[in-house]
Homo-oligomer: A and B are copies of this chain.
């Protein structure tokens, strides 16, 4: 499917480009453990054993447990930001750009809901410096979505009395997918993405039938 060796957000785990192999296994193990139990309830022994090595081996590749979380959080946030920025900079009508942003953002959060759960809900456990860095990326994401909505309002296509508040709501709606989405559940990431794109269109006053088609 993907001729490019670089993984940029497809269906596979978003850690394909981490080397060496042991480090990648550690990150992947940490993501699953953090997502299941939360950062503080996860032990370094658990991460190491999921990655198939001894507890001490973890510290060859990462200085601390927090650095593992930082790696996950940073890469995840950057990937999420890239998704909405691509939509913002794409061609098409204002509605199409917003639909694209929401649809792909939601799909990413559903497809990678384990990763996304850690990225979105465990950032409070980061060290202060790392936390600040991640918050900056989040602000950029918020700005990208806001500018899509703002542009639509200026063009008279969207009808939004409170741009800032609506942006928060849209992002909040999309992010929270990571919390409740279940791969074994009723809907696929594609379906949720489509549904949410339609709902958001309606939220900005450009909605049609509410099923994602204009």
A residues at B contact (CB < 8 Å):
37-38, 40-41, 121, 124-125, 159-162, 164-166, 168-169, 172-173, 175-177, 179-180, 186-187, 191-192, 195-196, 198-199, 202-205, 207, 209-211
Contact = CB atoms under 8 A, between A and B. Distances in A.
The 7 A-B pairs of least Cβ separation, nearest first, read A40-B40, A172-B176, A176-B176, A40-B41, A161-B211, A202-B202, A165-B195
B124 A38 contact: yes
25 contacts: A37-B124, A38-B40, A38-B124, A38-B125, A121-B121, A165-B187, A165-B192, A165-B195, A166-B195, A169-B195, A169-B196, A172-B173, A172-B176, A172-B177, A172-B179, A172-B180, A173-B173, A199-B203, A202-B202, A202-B207, A203-B203, A203-B210, A204-B210, A205-B207, A207-B207
Contacts of A162: 195, 211
A contact face: mostly helix, strand, loop, or mixed: helix
B177 A164 contact: no
Contacts of A177: 172
B159 A199 contact: no
B186 A164 contact: yes
A209 B202 CA distance: 11
Nearest to A38: B40
Nearest to A172: B176
A209 B166 CA distance: 13
A35 to B, nearest CB: 10
Given A162-B211, A203-B199, A207-B202, A173 B179 contact: no
A180 B173 CA distance: 12
A120 to B, nearest CB: 9
A162 B125 CA distance: 37
